[in-house]
A and B are shown apart, each in its own frame.
Chain A
Amino acid sequence: MMNDSGSAKPPSPPRLRSANLPEIVDRPYTDPEPFLSGHPILPEDMDINDFSLAQLHEMNQKLLEESMGAEGPLISWPEDISALRDEYSNLPDFVAQINTLSNQGYRTIIRVKGDGDCFYRALAFIYLRQLICSASARSLDQLSATKTVLADAGFDEIAYDTPYDLVMGLVKSDSAGHELWNTFTDQSTSNYIVMYMRLLTSAHIHLNQDFFSGFYQNIASDSETSNPLAKFRRQFVEPLGKEADDIQVTALVQALKFHVKIAYLDGRSPNGQVNFHDFGLDAGDAPGNSEPPVLLYRPGHYDILQKDA
């Protein structure tokens, strides 16, 4: 695209050579700037393998940002997965994985805005949609049980009452389709739902400290505070805009007593294979009759993946 296919590669810059040092880079160094500063279009004379892992990661992040622009809605209308494939057309490892998903029947993606709340928003959407669709007294019980979790964790009632009423009202209103989508695209309503999910996540971590302190040591080592988990909840769980790590994902799915599969689209598996991870399903549990909803994970971002539009 940028060069004729016949043109030579850029000359390699002078490098230090020493017979005593092993040769690490066996390809001429190429300055990443021209590719990364713009849309990552691969020049025809370059192969994807010419890029380092770090460069690939950066290109992926760039794509993510463009794919999830600041202008987009909080939750998109279902889109054909081919749109996603087109965005990755220069990254064959991603395309292979997207094809795998498509062949497994996952043909639709609902995009969630990449604003740091995407996991909470995506999970809340599929959770509430499922509650509303199942339309039973049991689903109302399930939801009201989450309020008990917040009370048990010692949260002040004023902190969770209003968002709880909002979420409960939504489930009772029985509006699964277009209306639910409308609700989730309305900035403030959508964010109150996210807020409820965040409080619930925080409460669940607090009530299961023994379990979660194991996770926590992997995330940060802050031994100076007497209760690092409390600080973690305050700084990285409760405030809006803070991305969810494994600990938050695990906690929220557990707190909702939900079961979700997460498909990992990372462009790093051989043969385009896609790994699915089950969350909220104990090792001994038999998988339910119905297939659990699926989130699509790209490093740093969550969307919703589904089989039918």
Chain B
Amino acid sequence: MANLAANFIGIKSPNPFWLASAPPTDKKYNVERAFEAGWGGVVWKTLGSEGPPVVNVNGPRYGAIWGADRRLLGLNNIELITDRPLEVNLQEIKEVKRKWKDRALIISLMVPCDEDSWKDILKRIEDTEADGVELNFGCPHGMAERGMGSAVGQVPEYIEMVTRWVKQYSRMPCIVKLTPNITDIRRPAEAAKRGGADAVSLINTINSITSVNLDSFSPEPMIDGKGTHGGYCGPAVKPIAMNMVAEIARSAETRGLPISGIGGVTTWRDAAEFMALGAGNVQVCTAAMTYGFKIVQEMISGLSQYLDEKQIGLNDLIGRAVPNVTDWQFLNLNYVTKAHINQDDCIKCGRCYAACEDTSHQAISMSADRVFEVMDDECVACNLCVNVCPVDNCITMVPMAKGTVDPRTGRKVGDYANWTTHPNNPASRAAE
């Protein structure tokens, strides 16, 4: 059984699976249940300034989209930061940390964008013995309207400024949580780094409307006939999150900045993918909210088995795929593949044919007795047939050996060559 013990910016946890700052981590009761189930750490639900706590809506706060059999694919929420008094949260954090010394306990913070507010809250949390702080610059609803959350996260200068304050007034490790509701994730990450952040965590939730009620014409979740955009999360956002993690991991400016990966992590495999793209650990919320805390046990056993099978340690996994994330312009244009349909596995549904014939390159033939075959002289290897085929591995992409002739182009498959040197590229010609 592989050792999953993780050390993320000096914060130790028995495994790299943390619960993200969210409803599941709002109080001692939930957090202790999570630790009992095996979670390596939690980021306590975001604390605000001292004083009367925020209030939440009293109608639905979650919306969702579903796949087959009502499998939850995406969730959104309009819940705000903790609506419990600061003192109660601080007391509970202290109790939990004392009892669960081996687990990571991070406090998420969100206070108004002025130095005193941050100085004050940092002082208040000092004696909780929590392991670190996470700055919530991501929450896209409600709090953003009050100049906090993603309203800060969308302005790199503010991120840098607040991070600087936090590092100035606290000795705790500082994680900056980023909003994906921006055009280029590298800018806020760079700002956090300049401000002295020990790590970034991403993604926070994405602005979204999950559905519209076609009888009442209100967005869901609906509050008295109205709706507002909520933060989207769950399996549906994972591809967006992974790209953002990878962009930060491979950028020259931010390379080496520790990343806590968040966004749709549901299984050990999701976690492994985030880590391969540079995340030092992962944070989970929606999967726990969908299935309960016990899912961490599958994550632990699955990741252990994978590491054992690969005969690598946890740290060997982190960032292992980063060198393979590149720009389009560096992709090998002489890498030629052709789709191949395994006739033994084919169940003759014809979806590949419909997809190729109607929407792509007319490269699949269909016989009267429903035999579907790829025409290599038409196939551009787009992969759509592979993606729509309901049978695993029935259609595969077979690379053509170097020196063979691509029947579509009539050209020999050559050595690596990319767009930067391609004759059709005006820039490459200009360079000549």
Query: Are A and B interaction partners?
Result: no
